[in-house]
Structure 1
Amino acid sequence: MAPTLRDHEKSNKPRKFLIDVEETKRLILEQEDTDGDLQITVNDAGPKVLEVGTANSGGYHKFDIRGTYMLSNLLQELALASGYGRKHIVIDEARLNENPVNRLSRMIRHHFWDGLTRRIDAEGLELICKDPKNRGTDLRPRVYVPHGDPDAWEYYSAIAKARPHLNLQVERLPKDITPQWVKSINDKPGILALATRRGQDEHGNSTLTAVPFVVPGGRFNEMYGWDSYFESLGLLADGRVELARGMVDNFAYQIEHYGKILNANRSYYLTRSQPPFLTDMALKVFERLPAEREAENREWLRGAMQAALKEYHTVWMADPRLDRKSGLSCYHPTGIGMPPETEASHFDHLLDPYARKMGLTIREYADGYNSGTIVEPELDAYFVHDRAVRESGHDTTYRLEKRCANLATVDLNALLYRYEMDFAMTIRDIFNDQFELADGRVIKSTPYFAYAERRRMLIDRYCWNEEKGLYFDYDIKLEEQSNYESVTALWMLWAGCASPEKAARVAATSVERFEATGGLVSGTEESRGAISLDRPNRQWDYPYGWAPHQMMAWRGLEQYGYIDDARRLAYRWLYTITKSFVDFNGVVPEKFDIVSMTHLVKVEYGNVGVDFKLVPREGFGWMNASYQLGLTYLSSHMRLKATCNGMWQRWKLFSRAGPAGDV
């Protein structure tokens, strides 16, 4: 029998494999990829062993490469080499047997972020205009330019002229963007322009360049709202400060020209925002800017905070999102009609009884409702809540279904408390309590400290449940707490809004109620309720776990001194990611079922990030970020053990009392 790599673990001799790229790729797929998905995974029934050659001073020898992980790594290296047109490559044994934690972290840092980076420029439009979510009647590539940005009009008009094959339509938005106007262009969807920067070319001529940003990945090929915050945390962890700064600049541009940070920069999102994170995002970037440019950095931060202040006052502290009776805020976008980005059949179950009542087909009824010839107040109310769920980022969950616009959610109000405290402390500590707004007015920190304290008291009054030791959403119409137990209660710790006593209760309750094998679930099984054919599971309910919930919890627990809990939860989450990465050809998906420990989920919308061939090139934005950030919570002892087999055998060592070892 030929020797295996394992036979030589004790040897110090370096080995390299001289491989014919296309022939070896053909052999490995033919032999190992038994389900034909162009990946080597644990689901394949091949022998999981491939004979390759190695060349060294002792001549030419053949060895076996065994196991899913090493074979999938070989396939990935071959696919990359093929993309570069290489006919033969020499692969180091260490690359095939690389510690999976190191390999994944390296791929995120050096490949995935670049694979997810976009610009709204000539090259970027080639990719971004191909939007699988479009289902209008006029699907020519289109870019919408703000009314008040003549530079952008000139920039994109020049691109359309220089690249006629794009058939790019450049259209100017009206000065006042109303919900009715947004609905009127649903059949003509397009990308929304983002920020540009002025510079000079080699001849001293003025130039405009599009500011880059990171997209989530898969079908989400535009700049999303809260995704961008979590992506920026990963970028900063990997030293990509300028790219994270560009994300802040694009958010400031959106607020200036579109009135809010958008759900994403597509035309059909013009009336919808997402969870607000801009202040913390800007401050984290500011902390990493070069110290020698202090004055320039302060002016940059001033611009970002001016934008965030505008968003705070005109979006979250204004109708219809502010509930004036409770003083708390709700997700409540202003769009009308059916959300156009959904699949054509997405609302068929909802429309069917209305259509049958009128003797129409579902499509006839939908067309009539969207055009306004059919009026149905019950549907109008439903779609207000449906859009609010999408604005919350938690689309969809039984926590919010059919009531979201009536809920002062814990997560939103925790974020706004953080806004208020960030405003107050930035104005006081960085701008010496003299902060100039864009219109020339000067404001002080005192009002924002007062706003924050008032919000904290209101959250305690309406959302805190002393008996259950947890924060709950507050229904402003029913004037009562929701009974859905959501992991977003931990956002109060992230925001620093909970008293030490309440934080202790929330931490203990959360460990008991939300901790699963693979991390934190979105909510409890009891809160979700029974699942059936008529009541299918929702992706933001039990048993699913999501990267933003993990990252918010780690930081919140850390801030209040529960570092052992934070580290244990980070370890569980990284274990979940690493196991799928090893077993499924390098996959990094959008979400996990963290109770059954799988990314192969049967739930609405499927799982983004799993549809690739041969080699992963992007991962998924906030999952990438959670991995890089999560590694910063692991002690050296924990990381040393974090090979896939080691994690699989050792995770039970990490009890709720805290990880074993030197933590």
Structure 2
Amino acid sequence: MRLTLPIPFKLSSSSLSSPTSTISTTTSIIELQQHIINSNKPMNQLTKLFKEISIKWSSLTRSNLKVIDQILDPKMKSKSLKLFVNTKLKGDITLDLVRDELIRLNPIGELDGVEVLELPEDVNRELFDQHQHGSLYLPYSFVVPGGVFQEMYAWDSFFIVLGLIRDKEIRLAKNMLDNYIYQIEHYGMILNGNRTYYLNRSQLPFITQLIKLIYPTIPTKHSQSWLRRAIKASEKYHEYWTTGNHLVQETGLSRFFDSSPDGTSPPEIVHEVDRRDGKTAHERVRKFFRDHHQAGIPDYDILQYYDPINDKLTEKYMNNDRAMRESGFDTSSRFGMFNAKVLDFNPICLNSLLVQMEFEIHELYQLLHENLLKSLKPNHTEVTEEDINQMNLKKSMKKTEKKSKLWKFKSIERIKLIRKFNWDSDDGMFYDYDYVKGERRKYLFGTCFLPLWCGFASKLESELVVKHALKGLEAEGGLLVSNVDVGDQWDSPYGWAPLQLFGVEGMKKYGFEEEAERVALKFNSMVLKTWIRTGELWEKYDVKKCNEIVDLKFGYATNEVGFGWTNAVFTRFYDLLSNEGKKKLSEINEDIQQAEIKETIEETQVEKVKDENEILGNLIGRINELDPNRREELMKKLSINEVSLKTNLDSDEDWIEVGRENV
């Protein structure tokens, strides 16, 4: 007879298989393999990931229904619960109204530890201590990126809304856009995030794109008034970016800037601690400057940014550090080591998006103008001047038409300036312009695709950018941020979802279908494989090694899970893929499933041998109790010895029967 054993087994932890099953009897490894293949077919991983992303929007949503969840800040040491409300910029809200609303929406006693406070007029003076900081009131629900980032972020929210629209979460998407508008009306801009320590800066602007996407969902009865309000907010936000310290008079282009008092450190820096040595981001920068200030570095004179006598970062460094955070690219060497010269630059990303913003405000005024016409003649027949005079709309229509032309002119003028200062015809590349030095910084960076994504690059410019950018930035998992590796998260070997989107959609817009498909498939393949292995979607990836593991020397040293923009870009890329591309992604999914099955079979074989040896060991123990003559006879018959416990079970099928007869 042949040995039969019960062998329980599980698929690997990353598998999405059916529940653990037990094999009651097997007669061979071949039968065991067939059992695993037939009765434990994993669910489709790709389908599962789409479902998880759709569900994840809910887990990442914050609202006034659970106000404590949105007030708690894992980035700050203080756990005080403060919610600040600004009632001064627009008089449609009071502190009492907000407090009453929160009491009504939350369970009894939930707000006992929450302070609802009026936002001070001089935030820089009165919120000087991190323990004084808190959350900023927003009226509508919103989706957070994930991880330690538990607030509504400016540019993250754009990508998140794209994902929400794709998953038909239209109401939540509109809520986030309405929060954009509310922030402009009550805080003067779209905030970096809705915390008091973000009140002095914004992030890259995308509001007009979202207005165009959301407007068709607005009920007709309210659409005109909502559109007027949205346009007004957009114009005010554009003014934020194109006046005062954001405007560089020498070039007519804009830059990043944080309006906090000179020399102040960003309060949120306290969370950027490297768990390996306990040092903050600024302590690591100081160490670098301490070690290099005598030898120097090519980017700039370290002594402008570091005081070696007092081992202290200078006011100039701090001002640039805060401005870097408005860019969203913290940290990188794009604007010099640690982005410490960002105030000296007209960035290609910001100015490209301002071109888009200006042109889209032009389009929104056109839409407003067309709607006025429709309100006169629903059947779209010709409208006479007499009709317009009778409806007293001539003045309004002329105004919208004039505004539309003005904004189109603004966008055209900015394109001319970008070509003058940011376009490098020798390299065939869009770079950031250092207006202090009067030269372009030839630092290849993923934002070079933004003129294509925004649609104002010429055909020749697009061809050159695609050629040179792919040569320098394309990797196994998509697009590198840059081709420079110095230990920053916004440099090589890392890749981030937003820059993948700019690259892929920019190339697709200009007819580079094959290249766009290839990069999108690379990125989605990496995200899918990493999710199957880790069960998470990540803030950023190592696109050279195609994993989530980061080894960062500067900035915050973690990789956060969630993650809003990764979720959105993954689903958006899938929709952009051709049928052949989708098939390839599915084949990757099937390959992973087969690898899991193979791994399971190998693990099961090991367990089978372990179980057989355990039985054999017990049998030998029983044999040892016999008299020496019978013991020697059995050991010889079973082909085993006490030292190695080796056995040849397959060739000696009757060993167990012999054992039973003799024990």
Q: Same fold per TM (> 0.5)?
A: yes
Provide the rounded CA distance (Å) in 1 between the counterparts of 2:248 and 2:503. Answer: 27
Contact 2:85 2:95 in 1 (8 A): yes
Instruction: Indicate yes or no: 2:164 matched with 1:235.
Output: yes
Code of the aligned partner of 1:102? T
Query: Which residues of 2 match residues 213-224 of structure 1 at below 5 A?
Result: 213-224=142-153
Provide the rounded CA distance (Å) in 2 between the counterparts of 1:3 and 1:297. Answer: 68
Provide the rounded CA distance (Å) in 2 between the counterparts of 1:222 and 1:436. Answer: 44
2:623 corresponds to: none
Instruction: Indicate yes or no: 2:283 matched with 1:338.
Output: no
Provide the rounded CA distance (Å) in 2 between the counterparts of 1:352 and 1:219. Answer: 26
- CA shift, 1:390, in A, is 0.8
Post-superposition CA distance 1:314-357 (Å, at most 9, x none): x10111111011000001111231111112633224567999xx
Post-superposition CA distance 1:63-112 (Å, at most 9, x none): 99999xx9xxxxxxxxxxxxxxxxxxxxx979x72222211112112x11
Choose between structure 1 and 2: higher strand proportion: 1
- CA shift, 1:147, in A, is 2.2
Contact 2:286 2:311 in 1 (8 A): no
Instruction: Indicate yes or no: 2:583 matched with 1:640.
Output: yes
Identify the match of residue 456 of structure 2 among 487, 493, 497: 497
Query: Which residues of 2 match residues 412-561 of structure 1 at below 5 A?
Result: 412-432=350-370, 444-525=403-484, 528=485, 531=486, 537-561=487-511
Identify the match of residue 316 of structure 1 among 228, 241, 244: 241
Post-superposition CA distance 1:366-408 (Å, at most 9, x none): xxxxxxxx99996221111111111111111011311112111
Post-superposition CA distance 1:127-146 (Å, at most 9, x none): 1222111135xx42000001
Provide the rounded CA distance (Å) in 1 between the counterparts of 2:350 and 2:43. Answer: 42
CA distance change for structure 1 residues 255 and 468 in 2, over 3 Å: closer, same or farther?
A: same
1:75 corresponds to: none
Instruction: Indicate yes or no: 2:138 matched with 1:194.
Output: yes
Instruction: Indicate yes or no: 2:189 matched with 1:260.
Output: yes
Post-superposition CA distance 1:125-181 (Å, at most 9, x none): 221222111135xx420000012356452244233695266411111013x455444
Partner SS for 1:171: strand
Query: Which residues of 2 match residues 583-594 of structure 1 at below 5 A?
Result: 583-584=533-534, 586-594=535-543
Contact 2:18 2:43 in 1 (8 A): no
Code of the aligned partner of 1:409? P
2:229 corresponds to: 303
Q: Look at both structures and tell me which one has the larger radius of gyration over its CA atoms.
A: 2
Partner SS for 1:169: strand
Instruction: Indicate yes or no: 2:43 matched with 1:98.
Output: yes
Provide the rounded CA distance (Å) in 2 between the counterparts of 1:354 and 1:493. Answer: 37
- CA shift, 1:642, in A, is 1.7
Provide the rounded CA distance (Å) in 2 between the counterparts of 1:215 and 1:93. Answer: 40
1:621 corresponds to: 564
CA distance change for structure 1 residues 413 and 437 in 2, over 3 Å: closer, same or farther?
A: farther
Provide the rounded CA distance (Å) in 1 between the counterparts of 2:270 and 2:246. Answer: 27
- CA shift, 1:219, in A, is 0.9
Provide the rounded CA distance (Å) in 1 between the counterparts of 2:83 and 2:353. Answer: 32
Contact 1:515 1:521 in 2 (8 A): yes
Identify the match of residue 99 of structure 2 among 136, 154, 157: 157
CA distance change for structure 1 residues 634 and 3 in 2, over 3 Å: closer, same or farther?
A: farther
CA distance change for structure 1 residues 642 and 295 in 2, over 3 Å: closer, same or farther?
A: same
Code of the aligned partner of 2:175? G
1:246 corresponds to: 175
Contact 2:45 2:589 in 1 (8 A): no
- CA shift, 1:433, in A, is 9.9
Contact 2:157 2:176 in 1 (8 A): yes
Provide the rounded CA distance (Å) in 2 between the counterparts of 1:66 and 1:479. Answer: 71
Contact 1:135 1:340 in 2 (8 A): no
Code of the aligned partner of 2:504? W
Percentage of matched positions with identical amino acids: 29
Instruction: Indicate yes or no: 2:87 matched with 1:147.
Output: yes
Code of the aligned partner of 2:226? W
Provide the rounded CA distance (Å) in 1 between the counterparts of 2:257 and 2:46. Answer: 41
Provide the rounded CA distance (Å) in 1 between the counterparts of 2:558 and 2:587. Answer: 22
Query: Which residues of 2 match residues 47-62 of structure 1 at below 5 A?
Result: 51-52=20-21
1:118 corresponds to: 62
Contact 2:525 2:588 in 1 (8 A): no
| Mean CA deviation greater in 486-495 or 144-153 | 144-153
- CA shift, 1:622, in A, is 0.4
Partner SS for 1:574: helix
Partner SS for 1:583: helix
- CA shift, 1:621, in A, is 0.4
- CA shift, 1:252, in A, is 0.4
2:253 corresponds to: 328
CA distance change for structure 1 residues 477 and 620 in 2, over 3 Å: closer, same or farther?
A: same
Partner SS for 2:57: helix
Post-superposition CA distance 1:530-563 (Å, at most 9, x none): x4xxxxx000001100000111222211221222
Provide the rounded CA distance (Å) in 1 between the counterparts of 2:23 and 2:394. Answer: 67
2:76 corresponds to: 134
1:576 corresponds to: 526
Post-superposition CA distance 1:228-248 (Å, at most 9, x none): 000011111111111111110
Provide the rounded CA distance (Å) in 1 between the counterparts of 2:434 and 2:556. Answer: 28
Contact 1:52 1:65 in 2 (8 A): no
- CA shift, 1:606, in A, is 3.9
Partner SS for 1:643: helix
Code of the aligned partner of 2:270? E
Contact 1:316 1:329 in 2 (8 A): yes
Query: Which residues of 2 match residues 36-115 of structure 1 at below 5 A?
Result: 40=13, 51-52=20-21, 97-109=42-54, 111-115=55-59
Post-superposition CA distance 1:385-438 (Å, at most 9, x none): 111111111111011311112111000000000001101122124434989999
Instruction: Indicate yes or no: 2:349 matched with 1:395.
Output: no
CA distance change for structure 1 residues 251 and 631 in 2, over 3 Å: closer, same or farther?
A: same
Provide the rounded CA distance (Å) in 1 between the counterparts of 2:289 and 2:502. Answer: 42
Code of the aligned partner of 1:146? N
Partner SS for 2:116: strand
Provide the rounded CA distance (Å) in 1 between the counterparts of 2:209 and 2:332. Answer: 26
Instruction: Indicate yes or no: 2:540 matched with 1:596.
Output: no
Code of the aligned partner of 1:254? Q
Provide the rounded CA distance (Å) in 2 between the counterparts of 1:115 and 1:557. Answer: 33
Structure 2 unmatched ranges of 5 or more:
25-30, 272-279, 291-308, 373-392, 593-663
Provide the rounded CA distance (Å) in 2 between the counterparts of 1:601 and 1:478. Answer: 34
- CA shift, 1:587, in A, is 1.4
CA distance change for structure 1 residues 498 and 538 in 2, over 3 Å: closer, same or farther?
A: same
Contact 1:193 1:265 in 2 (8 A): yes
Partner SS for 1:569: helix
| Mean CA deviation greater in 630-639 or 538-547 | 630-639
Provide the rounded CA distance (Å) in 1 between the counterparts of 2:244 and 2:197. Answer: 21
- CA shift, 1:641, in A, is 3.1
2:118 corresponds to: 172
Code of the aligned partner of 2:475? A
Structure 1 unmatched ranges of 5 or more:
5-23, 33-39, 43-47, 56-61, 71-91, 196-210, 356-373, 532-536, 611-618, 650-663
Q: How many residues align?
A: 522
- CA shift, 1:648, in A, is 6.8
Partner SS for 2:267: coil
Post-superposition CA distance 1:220-264 (Å, at most 9, x none): 111001000000111111111111111100000000010011110
What TM-score, normalized to structure 2? 0.72
